[in-house]
């Protein structure tokens, strides 16, 4: 039997179950060499932000432990993907490389070039699915083009055959008997040091494959019941919170939907359907990115190239720090900073305030989310920001400008979310928790709130911000 190993490349697939590249390599009967290459030199995917780097460190620890238990230690290398692969092929005598496909523009470009180069050198290369339910190139409109509106995309996706069943993890792996150097994970300096800002992330999350399945089980045993309405209430644990695990490939959408199907009659049909549609939004975002690879940097709707964005570092910093004076907005931004995650309803609201009330370019917000979200995703992040800004595919109309007070009163009526993340307002009555500037002075005094001192007044009046946004939008359209 050939003792040269199969190189199995791990990228956005940090798991052993439903990892088709790993399972195919194990089924070959050949020894395996699992490899993770940190390719952060600018030739491939967008460099990870700080929160994703923190998660990656812990996810690699968990993956290395699982692979070690199965018998094949994980090799870590840093550098250009194709260069490291060639080094490993030469060092091991391997003539075979397996990987699971990526769908970010940079990753696809690297993988396409690498596959072409390796095949020209008589290296066997096989790639597999796992990151998405569909191949973005294969779902087309009736006229053969890509979808630009979510609803017909969802119908087209739902009309596809039922997603495949997930693949079980290999019972064991045959290790390669040779030896190659592996980097020390600590030497990659993925963790924040000075200062260590990750305490809230450590308290909130359990990165890794086991953490992903634990969270899925928790979701299916509780929050999915009532998900259709509960998902909009940020003060409750009513969402799946699976997004960072999907972003790192610690769980697949095939596994998630199989678990929902298995839950069957225990899950209300309406809640199950709504959740499936949220999974499909992730698919739609990748569909958009595949056909518009500059989604994070260019307006999907080029008319917005003429929009008169404002540059205001002080306002941007107030938004980033959760100091806008709008309690639910500030709660969301502080939740993001503390935990690396923000409730989706609040994500829409804080984005609307940035691009509409403050007239700051959506790309500034997208970049901040990219750096601070543990689930920062190269497709979901820009697609969602452009949706809110009005410049994206199937976007919310620009004139849809959220009122932060009314949004807070509707979705956080008792102020549970605000009280958790904006503790300086915790003692305010419900009546004033979303508009402390309207509270009488004695009420503010009893609550210990000093507007303009320990909590800011709004950086802009809602009506003034709305009027200014509409005037700017009309000027872009040539209406004024």
Per-residue pLDDT, averaged over 386-413, amounts to: 93
Whose CA is closest to 81, among 126, 130, 115?
115
Confidence of residue 1 (pLDDT cuts 50, 70, 90): very low
pLDDT digits (tens, 9 = 90+) for 147-206: 999 999 999 999 999 999 999 999 999 999 999 999 999 999 999 999 999 999 999 999
CA distance 348 to 164: 32
Confidence of residue 395 (pLDDT cuts 50, 70, 90): confident
Which percentage of the chain shows pLDDT scores above 90?
93
pLDDT digits (tens, 9 = 90+) for 230-289: 999 999 999 999 999 999 999 999 999 999 999 987 888 899 999 999 999 999 999 999
Residue 99 is among the residues annotated as catalytic for this protein: no
CB atoms within 10 A of CB 468: 17
Whose CA is closest to 205, among 241, 160, 153?
241
Is pLDDT above 60 for 464?
yes
Is pLDDT above 60 for 466?
yes
Q: Do 433 and 323 meet the contact criterion of CB atoms below 8 Å apart?
A: no
In this prediction, residue 2 carries a pLDDT of 60
Per-residue pLDDT, averaged over 357-383, amounts to: 98
CA distance 322 to 320: 6
Residue 385 is among the residues annotated as catalytic for this protein: yes
Catalytic residue among 54, 341, 385, 387: 385
Residue 204 is among the residues annotated as catalytic for this protein: no
Residue 278 is among the residues annotated as catalytic for this protein: yes
Confidence of residue 398 (pLDDT cuts 50, 70, 90): confident
Catalytic residue among 362, 368, 370, 387: 362
Residue 362 is among the residues annotated as catalytic for this protein: yes
Q: For the chain, what is the mean pLDDT?
A: 95
Catalytic residue among 273, 278, 409, 424: 278
How far separated are the first and last CA of the chain, in Å rounded?
Answer: 77
Give the DSSP H or E segment for 33: strand 32-38
Is pLDDT above 90 for 453?
yes
pTM for the model stands at 0.96
- Domains delineated in the chain: 6-131 (3.40.50.620), 132-163+207-291 (1.25.40.80), 302-475 (1.10.579.10)
Residue 188 is among the residues annotated as catalytic for this protein: no
Confidence of residue 130 (pLDDT cuts 50, 70, 90): confident
């Amino acid at each position: 039997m050939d003792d040269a190993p199969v190189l199995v490349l791990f990228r956005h697939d940090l798991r052993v179950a439903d990892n088709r590249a790993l399972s195919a390599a194990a089924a070959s009967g050949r020894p395996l060499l699992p490899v993770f290459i940190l390719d952060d030199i600018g030739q491939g995917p967008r460099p990870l932000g700080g929160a994703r780097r923190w998660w990656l460190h812990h996810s690699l620890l968990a993956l290395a432990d699982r692979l070690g238990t199965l018998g094949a230690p994980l090799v870590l290398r840093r550098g250009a993907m194709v260069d490291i692969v060639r080094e490993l092929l030469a060092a091991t005598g391997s003539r075979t490389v397996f990987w699971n496909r990526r769908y970010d523009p940079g990753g696809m470009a690297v993988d396409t070039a690498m596959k072409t180069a390796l095949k020209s050198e008589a290296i066997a290369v096989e790639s597999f699915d796992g990151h998405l339910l569909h191949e973005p190139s294969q779902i087309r409109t009736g006229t053969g083009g890509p979808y630009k509106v979510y609803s017909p995309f969802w119908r087209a996706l739902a009309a596809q055959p039922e997603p495949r069943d997930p693949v079980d993890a290999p019972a064991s792996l045959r290790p390669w008997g040779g030896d190659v150097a592996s980097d020390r994970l600590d030497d990659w300096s993925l963790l924040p040091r000075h200062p260590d800002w990750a305490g809230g992330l450590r308290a909130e999350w359990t990165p890794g494959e086991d953490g992903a399945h634990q969270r899925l089980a928790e979701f299916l045993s509780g929050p999915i019941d009532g998900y259709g309405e509960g998902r909009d209430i940020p003060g409750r644990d009513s969402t799946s919170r699976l997004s960072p695990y999907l972003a790192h490939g610690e769980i697949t959408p095939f596994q998630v939907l199989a678990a929902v199907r298995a839950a069957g009659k225990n899950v209300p049909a309406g809640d199950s359907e709504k959740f499936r549609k949220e999974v499909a939004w992730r698919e739609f975002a990748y569909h958009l990115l595949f056909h518009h690879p500059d989604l994070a940097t260019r307006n999907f709707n080029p008319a917005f190239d003429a929009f008169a964005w404002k540059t205001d570092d002080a306002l941007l910093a107030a938004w980033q720090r959760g100091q806008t004076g709008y309690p639910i907005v500030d709660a969301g931004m502080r939740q993001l900073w503390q935990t690396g995650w923000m409730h989706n309803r609040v994500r829409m609201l804080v984005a609307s305030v940035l691009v509409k009330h403050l007239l700051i370019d959506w790309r500034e917000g997208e970049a901040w989310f990219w750096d601070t979200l543990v689930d920062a995703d190269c497709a979901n992040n820009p697609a969602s920001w452009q949706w809110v800004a009005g410049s994206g595919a199937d976007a919310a109309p620009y004139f849809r400008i959220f009122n932060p007070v009314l949004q807070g009163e509707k979705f956080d009526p008792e102020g549970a979310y605000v009280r958790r993340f904006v503790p300086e307002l915790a003692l305010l009555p419900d009546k004033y928790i979303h508009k402390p500037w309207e509270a009488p002075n004695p009420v503010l005094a009893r609550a210990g709130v000093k507007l303009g001192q320990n909590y800011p007044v709004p950086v802009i009046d809602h009506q003034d911000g709305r009027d200014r946004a509409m005037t700017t939008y009309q000027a872009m359209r040539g209406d004024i």
